[in-house]
Amino acid sequence: MMNSSTRLATVLSLSLLALVLMPTTAVGQDPISADRPGLGDGASPLTTNTVQIELGAVGANEDFGTEAELGQLLLRYGVTEFLELRGGVGSVAFDAPETEYTGTSLGGKLRLLQSPLSTLSVVSTWDLPTGTGAFDADNVAQTLKLAYDGALGEDLGVSVNAGASLPYTDNADLSYLFIPTLSFAVTDRVGGYVGYAGFYTEGLNTNYVEAGVTLLSSLDTQLDVNTGLQLDENRDAFFLGVGLAHRF
């Protein structure tokens, strides 16, 4: 009999296949704008009454061996033209011989400013103590950040996330994040990005360089391949992932 982690992995795999085969549903909208695959979030909330699902899988080769995640499941819903609600279902993490669950989250994205060439929003995420193994936690932790998107030219853009995370516990220390990303269009349907992601604490900092490619298979569906290197005092690691975002 399959255990709960294996069943969840099977469901996620079937969901990925179903979404790839699903026909487009949004009519008269701009092409989909997804928060994946980079480590930062985009600044634009979903439009009113729009539902979007984003998911993927990633494998990492690091100093201590090979590990993988399947899921990365994020559900988004546009409440108004300037506010979206979001929920993270999380991933099944495979770190032999253990199988763990990364945990759930709830949050929202609120647009603060918008001009023809830029958007500024605030993104709040509450990580719930629902993970297992290495992802087990006793308290809720909140991440609050500003997300900025700006155009640098017809086919070039920049995104920046900057903020802080705080566990809701006594004597907790703030950790900080800074994620600048440069994106560019290759064709009308293919795009790319390169970026840096830094997560800073009182102890060891974590630093990534990342890059990826996206493909619009339809106005409502984006496929992606993403990769990156973790280079810091803690460990060296290389990751490679694939993913999908679909708008209903």
Q: What is the pLDDT of residues 158-212, one digit of tens each?
A: 999 999 999 898 777 899 999 999 999 999 999 999 999 999 988 788 999 999 9
**Short-list 239, 155, 147, CA closest to 190:** 155
**Short-list 186, 190, 177, 184, CA closest to 146:** 177
**pLDDT tens digits, 130-139:** 999 989 988 9
What does each C-alpha distance from 184 to 54, 112, 150, 219, 232 come to in angstroms?
21, 24, 12, 18, 27
CA distance 160 to 119: 11
CA distance 190 to 177: 28
Q: Which fold has domain 4-28+46-247?
A: Porin (2.40.160)
Query: Which residues have a Cβ under 8 Å from the Cβ of 225 and sit 6 or more positions away?
Result: 37, 212, 213, 240, 241, 242
120, 43 Cβ separation under 8 angstroms: yes
Lowest mean pLDDT among 59-68, 82-91, 151-160: 59-68
Q: Where are the domains of the chain?
A: 4-28+46-247
CA distance 17 to 23: 12
CA distance 201 to 234: 12
Q: Read off the pLDDT band of 243 (50, 70, 90).
A: very high
CA distance 116 to 152: 12
**Short-list 185, 64, 44, CA closest to 134:** 64
94, 69 Cβ separation under 8 angstroms: yes
Predicted confidence (pLDDT) at residue 8 exceeds the cutoff of 90: no
Predicted confidence (pLDDT) at residue 9 exceeds the cutoff of 70: no
CA distance 161 to 178: 6
150, 158 Cβ separation under 8 angstroms: yes
Phi and psi, residue 135, nearest 5°: -100, 10
pTM for the model: 0.87
H or E segment and range at residue 206: strand 206-218
